[in-house]
Structure formats: structure tokens, C-alpha cells
């Protein structure tokens, strides 16, 4: 009789599991599945733009991934070096023809951060986002006074008059100043052209606010630099719509973050990058797209 009761208890347990627990678990799984919509890859462009290789790699991989329906480029950057910003601009311009790439601006997407965004299928920001700063900055420190005090001399041997333009151990000549200013003006003009072409804004209108000023998102929308206000999920929904992928009423975009790029501080603390940064590879100063404060 005791064995019969044990067997009956086991049978009741099995029946409860089959009739109650399994349907509940299955229903929960179905609910989760129904909430998670199509994959949208999120690629982060954060911090000072010094190198574009990681973000470029992620862009190409996600655009070519058949499971990725659309891409959101999340930009939170004050800008950085010219060439990497241009790299990203042209890559986005090319790759958006294969798959929609929508930019979601964070708290700061200025100068090179804006340049990298200009060719996107669509740009989202918040009214308080800081963007704009369409300008070029070139700063040349001069250590002449310090070198004189500590008794250091830099002996330069060069093959051309402008080979060491920006030499930090002597005053800059007027020819060198004109040479570097000319480069800065030409890079600035390219930036203005990119804003006009990427956003469809008349050139003269761009020039009216392309003086390096930082703009709030609310101003940027009025000027046509961005399309809509919204968060990263709004950007993802817009990207899916451009990809002609419909979301069900209970679905949200399935945001999948690509590998994260090292921050500027992380790379600066890396001894392998710190030493070249201190020593420099040549005497030329770096022309940068940076938000000015």
C-alpha cells in the first residue's frame, strides 16, 4: 500500500508538470520570442576618433551579415583626426546602399562625430544633443622657453624648407603659418562640402553656421543636420522600416551590440600607444575635427 501511494504521488507530479509547468514555460518562451524582433546591429563610435579600423570592420561585417536586417551607428564623440572621420563618412555612404545605416547621436556628436554621420540613411538625436562644430583645429605647442631654461637644444636636419613645419622647439615662420593655415582651410572646405552633399543643404546655408560653433539638437534639426528626435530604439525602428522589415505590434528591435572600440583613455594608458604618442612620428601637427570648448 505504501509503494502504491509513492507511485501515485509520482504520477500526480508528472501530470502537474505536463499539464501546468510545461505550458507556462512554453508560453513564457513564446512571449520572449515574440517580443524580440529582427536583429539590428548597433556599432558604437565613442570618444575621440583617432583610428577607424575597428568601427569600419564592424560596419562591413554587420552589413554583410545576412541575420542583420539594419544597422544603427551610435555616435557619442567630440570628433578627432581628419582621415578616420572621412573613412567612416565614405564607408557609411557606400554601405548604406546594401543595408540601411541610421545614426543615433548620444550626448555629443560634434565635428568629426558629425562628419562620420553625414552620409547615413537617417540621423536621430535628442534636442539636447551637442552637435555641429563644423570646423578644423590645429594646435602647435612651443617648448622654446622651457628648452632654453633646462638647456635643451633640438638639432634639425631637413631637405626642404617646410619639412619641419610645426617644429615645437623654435618659433613658427610666417611661411609655415600660411602653409598650415592653407591646409586647415582646404580641409574645412571639404567638411562643408560633405555637410552640403550628405544632408542636401545648400552650400551657402552651410557656410552660414560652419564656423566651428556647437549646435544643440533642436537647432540642428531646424538647419537640416538631423532628421528626427528619438532614442536608439527609434533609430532602430527607422532602420528596419527603411529595410522594409515590419515589426509586429508586440515586437521591439533586437539590438545586438558589435564589439566595443577601446576608449581614448584605455588606449592612452596602453604603453604601446603611449610611447609613440609622446615621441611623435614626425614634426607635423595633427589637423583635427574637434568640438571646441
Residues marked active site are found at: 111, 163
- Crossing angle of the two packed helices 82-95 and 174-199, in degrees rounded to 10: 20
Burial class (CB in 10 A: 0-12, 13-18, 19+), 262: middle
Cα separation, 226 vs 62, in Å, equals 24
Cα separation, 119 vs 37, in Å, equals 26
The DSSP secondary-structure symbol of 118 reads T
Q: What are phi and psi of 113, to 5 degrees?
A: -65, -40
Which residue, 77, 80, 133, 115, is CA-closest to 191? 115
Cα separation, 70 vs 81, in Å, equals 27
Exposure of 176 in the CB half-sphere (CA atoms within 13 A): 18
Computed over its alpha carbons, how large is the radius of gyration of the chain?
Answer: 27
Helices H / strands E in the chain, number of each: 12, 10
Residue 166 has a CB neighbour count (10 Å cut-off) of 21
Cα separation, 114 vs 105, in Å, equals 9
Exposure of 186 in the CB half-sphere (CA atoms within 13 A): 6
User: Strand 214-216 relative to strand 130-132: parallel, antiparallel, unpaired?
Assistant: antiparallel
Q: What are phi and psi of 173, to 5 degrees?
A: -85, 165
Cα separation, 159 vs 162, in Å, equals 9
Amino acid at each position: 500500500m505504501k509503494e502504491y501511494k509513492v507511485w501515485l504521488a509520482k504520477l500526480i507530479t508528472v501530470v502537474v508538470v505536463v499539464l501546468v509547468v510545461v505550458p507556462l514555460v512554453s508560453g513564457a518562451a513564446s512571449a520572449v520570442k515574440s517580443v524580440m524582433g529582427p536583429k539590428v546591429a548597433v556599432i558604437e563610435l565613442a570618444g575621440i576618433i583617432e583610428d577607424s579600423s575597428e568601427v569600419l570592420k564592424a560596419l562591413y561585417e554587420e552589413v554583410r551579415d545576412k541575420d542583420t536586417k539594419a544597422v544603427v551607428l551610435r555616435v557619442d564623440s567630440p570628433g578627432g583626426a581628419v582621415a578616420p572621420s572621412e573613412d567612416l563618412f565614405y564607408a557609411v555612404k557606400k554601405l548604406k546602399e546594401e543595408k540601411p545605416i541610421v545614426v543615433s547621436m548620444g550626448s555629443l556628436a560634434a565635428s568629426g562625430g558629425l562628419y562620420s554621420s553625414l552620409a547615413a540613411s537617417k540621423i536621430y538625436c535628442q534636442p539636447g544633443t551637442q552637435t555641429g562644430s563644423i570646423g578644423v583645429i590645429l594646435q602647435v605647442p612651443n617648448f622654446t622657453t622651457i628648452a632654453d631654461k633646462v638647456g635643451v637644444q633640438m638639432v634639425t636636419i631637413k631637405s626642404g624648407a617646410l619639412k619641419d613645419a610645426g617644429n615645437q622647439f623654435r618659433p613658427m615662420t610666417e611661411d609655415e603659418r600660411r602653409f598650415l593655415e592653407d591646409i586647415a582651410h582646404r580641409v574645412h572646405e571639404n567638411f562643408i562640402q560633405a555637410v552640403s552633399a550628405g544632408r542636401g543643404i545648400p552650400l551657402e546655408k552651410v557656410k552660414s553656421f560652419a564656423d566651428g560653433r556647437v549646435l544643440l539638437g533642436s537647432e540642428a534639426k531646424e538647419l537640416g543636420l538631423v532628421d528626427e528626435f528619438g532614442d536608439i530604439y527609434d533609430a532602430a525602428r527607422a532602420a528596419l522600416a527603411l529595410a522594409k522589415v515590419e515589426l509586429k505590434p508586440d515586437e521591439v528591435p533586437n539590438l545586438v551590440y558589435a564589439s566595443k572600440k577601446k576608449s581614448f583613455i584605455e588606449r592612452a594608458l596602453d604603453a604601446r600607444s603611449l610611447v609613440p604618442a609622446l615621441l611623435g612620428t614626425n614634426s607635423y601637427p595633427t589637423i583635427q575635427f574637434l568640438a571646441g570648448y
